A and B are shown apart, each in its own frame.
Chain A
Amino acid sequence: MTVYYTEEHEWISVQGDIVFVELPEAGRQVSKGGEAAVVESVKAASDVFAPVDGEVTEPNSALGDDPSLVNTDPEGEGWFFKLRLSDPSQLQGLMDADSYKAFADSQ
């Protein structure tokens, strides 16, 4: 599986320990760059933006019991939601792991 990244990564470094995640319900339409979820730390709340257009098919209910999965396993058990893509070609605009690393290093 290829992992895709967006340039909107700053919440993970700014937020620190995640104590709550507000997830979209299944069936909700989200649009690229629009608010899709909220992550809450001790101190502040931040929006998580949808990387592409689509319909939410499944929010990750495991985050309700253990929001810290976002910190401990962000690319595994800490996923936010699954999307059915409206426009698969939008994936071309995202970065793969190598380009993301280069992008993150440049920040």
Chain B
Amino acid sequence: VRRAVRLAWRQQRLELLLLLGVAALVVVTALGIAWQTRVVRDEQLACYRETPTAEEGDSLSPCHAHDLKLDPLQAAAGVAKVGVIGVPILLAVFTGVPIVARELEGRTAHMTWSLSRSRLRWLVLRAAPPLAVVAVASVAVGVAGDVLTHAAPWVEGSDPGFEDWWSRGPQVAVRATAVFGVALAVGALLGRQLPAVLVTGGATLALFMAAFFVLDGWMQAAAEPVPIAPTTIVSGKIYGSGWRNDATGELLDDVEADLAGIWDEDDLNEEGMPRGYTMYFLMVPSHRYGEFVLRESALFASVAGLTIVTSAWIVGRRRPA
């Protein structure tokens, strides 16, 4: 195993150094922004506590100066989140593609495969070290993204729900593993590095778009009506809203409610809201975040498994040139 790791390092040293450097930069930047955001936000909250008449966010507030510090931090956080999404994908593509493609392109596959006990064993020994690096680095990046999301001024220790779905948590690593599998398979299939990088880029885009639509479909199907009172604080992914007839429990969407005439002036209560009706959000509450992370991770893990098995099959069957 040590020999396999050393060989993988020698062959992909430059890519790994560049990308791990960028990954480290993203982690350090994200953690630094999160730290500074908390520091400034704590100062701002202390300021609000000392001036109880001021309203938060009011431009006339004496604590407005802290907003001037928070705004650039939030802008920087946005850039760091792009890094959290992009760097694991780049790492996966640039380490996955050349494993087989370089040997085929350099016409060394024949010799390399002949010297191994089996092609499968060769592939496992060659792919495992970079895959481990991709997974570990992506977990680090994902965790840093999670810290960044939880440090946002509006979160304040509460549940961020489905916010920053693509740029936080260990699921970033599961996605990167799937991209690695795709890169490995495409590299083995095409046998040339640059075209394989381009095709993998397109395939990754298609994979993420498909995952987005599948996940959105799951969430829409799981959305449930949550009654809302004026003082209720809700967190989750909202797909729509409407009104519930309190007497019958019938749910009307906003258009149906309009047509049913619930806004007739005679039927409004003293707060100007429809009498006998309660507003509801059609939403997936944020406490179901973990469930959907697991579902999405299962999807990407399946893709990873399938593509890695396909790569093994291609390597076992294809001509070495």
Are A and B subunits of one complex? no
Q: A: which residues have CB within 8 A of B?
A: none
